Amino acid sequence: MPPEALPEAPPAALRLDIDRAALAENWRALDRLSGAARAGAAVKADAYGLGARRVAAVLREAGCGDFFVAHWREAADLLDVVEAGTISVLHGPLTGADSAFAIATGVKPVINSLEQTRRWLDAGGGRCDVMIDTGMNRLGIPLAAIGDEALRRLDIDVLLSHLCSAEEDVPLNARQLALWQQARRHLPHRRASLANSAGIALGPDYHGDLTRPGLSLYGGIQREAMRGSIGQVARPAVALLQTRTVSAGETLGYNATFTADRTMRVGTIALGYADGYLRCWSGKGAMLSAGRRLPVLGRVSMDLTIIDLGAAPDLAEGDWVDVDYALDAAAAASGLSPYELLTLLGRRFAR
């Protein structure tokens, strides 16, 4: 059968609801908390799994004018959503093809090394951002190299660095701030940026001209000062595939890790570790239905998870339940970071 004759695929049994109003309000709150600086947005990793095109469009309408991605293909995917000159590619120009793409489109590379500096200049150069390493020892030009004459030839829009531990009160924050300020004095640039989501809460000294929130846009609360300003954005939901009644003494799931101690009504949902709901949720996670908590029973498997329906006797096959996935509480329960919780959510979720 030719593709055009195929019927439309049925709806997915997994859904990731994105609260666009909460997303926009989170950006506005972070922009306000940034004081005199403007807030940009990290939309790398498909906007932390929520869908970069959708997220960038919402944030652009809210007033955001700077978007940060990691890979060049992520930038290409946004060219019809936001203006090319508002996109920065954090990994920088690894090849001549990267530089050619940036020059042709107006997307900005983030220069991370002297090698990338020379590659960009040899290609013709133009407006770019520069990452200075102030203690992460990951990407970025070492402070010892900022006197290199090639750096003076760059047309630097944003001079960046990245905080290692902004969610913690540690001396490293102040050391990084001092080194970033030193770099600002040595390299000509239009704007400077240091603070990520947590860094915004460290105060105006860390804000520069542009902040770069990521996780908090999507509902992550990294410092207590941000609580009350940040709302939940991502709400996974899943369909109930089957219900059954099990007797006391019966076991559930792989390796029989759960044994019923009474007659129980249980349900099987279309969610498993292939969807990013990892085995660490076994015996710890829960679904929600109209405020009722439905605990996970036994071991999470690849495509399926069993839940206790005792609190929701009305639920039947085909009904939907919400995954208990508020980021703070979910991180504490699972041992996963909020970053992992979002970016793990798989392609089978309809977004």
Q: Which residues are catalytic?
A: 44, 254
Q: Could you tell me which of 287, 331, 236 has the C-alpha nearest to residue 19?
A: 236
CB distance 164 to 136 below 8 Å: yes
Cα angle 68, 74, 77 (rounded to 5 degrees) comes to 115
* Contact indicator for 242, 24 with CB cutoff of 8 Å: no
Distance CA 214, CA 199 (A): 11
For residue 115, what is the DSSP state?
H
Cα dihedral: 332, 338, 344, 345 (round 10): 90
What is the per-residue burial (b if ≥16 Cβ within 10 Å, else e) of 289-323? beebebbbbbbbbebbbbbbbebbeebeeeeebbb
299: β partners: none
Question: How far is the C-alpha of 172 from the C-alpha of 199, rounded, in Å?
Answer: 12
Give the span between the Cα atoms of 244 and 260, in whole angstroms.
13
